[in-house]
Amino acid sequence: MKTQFSCVDVDKDGTLTKNDYEEFGRRFAEHQQLDEEKAKAVSSYMLEFWSMMSNGNDDLIITENQYVDLMKIRVFDPAFHKAAVDAIHKNFTVLDANGDGSIDWNEFVLYFKSLGRDEESAKMAFEAIDVNQDGLITLEEFTENYLAFLTTEDEEHSSKFCWGPLI
């Protein structure tokens, strides 16, 4: 969870706020060179993610410890599980910039750059998520790994690298 927190803390101030989610959307749209309509869709998705995390409190400030504690509780909540799957699917749609139904290496590395992560971290994550090693991440592979990252207690599961090296 600390690795995920570090990735989502886009401004690197040690907290998560609505601004982090907005800034990620802006960076992603810029890196992907999205048109205005797609950029607005990304922004909307990111604000939905923030709303899910903050329970609709736009002024909330979440520290790393609060985030970890919150996620430990939420992973057992069926409503959160459904919301997480929905969020993962929306995230996949955003990352699949060309709309071909899969995420290729170029799309994925731009995602990591939008998070302020390096290419080496992206490579580690891509290889872990691309289960069949065909060079494309399917919705099934993406969902399985990011959901497992949030919910599994198996420390050997490949999902531990979804956000790059663990912190």
Q: pTM, whole model, 2 decimals?
A: 0.77
Q: Are 49 and 1 in contact (CB under 8 A)?
A: no
Distance of alpha carbon 42 from alpha carbon 24, whole angstroms: 9
Put residue 135 in one of left, alpha, beta given phi > 0 → left and psi -120 to 50 → alpha: left
Query: What are the tens digits of pLDDT across the range 119-145?
Result: 998 999 999 999 999 999 999 999 999
The residue-averaged pLDDT of 22-35 equals: 87
Is it the case that residue 164 has pLDDT exceeding 80? no
Directed axis angle between helix 78-95 and helix 139-151, to 10°? 140
Distance of alpha carbon 21 from alpha carbon 26, whole angstroms: 9
Which tops the pLDDT comparison, 4 or 119?
119
Q: Are 143 and 88 in contact (CB under 8 A)?
A: yes
At residue 75 the predicted structure's pLDDT band, cuts being 50, 70 and 90, is: confident
Question: Which class does domain 2-161 fall in?
Answer: mainly alpha
Is it the case that residue 167 has pLDDT exceeding 70? no
| Domain coordinates in residue numbering, the chain | 2-161
DSSP bridge partners of 63: 15
At residue 11 the predicted structure's pLDDT band, cuts being 50, 70 and 90, is: very high
Is it the case that residue 14 has pLDDT exceeding 90? yes
Q: Are 28 and 111 in contact (CB under 8 A)?
A: yes
Is it the case that residue 151 has pLDDT exceeding 80? no
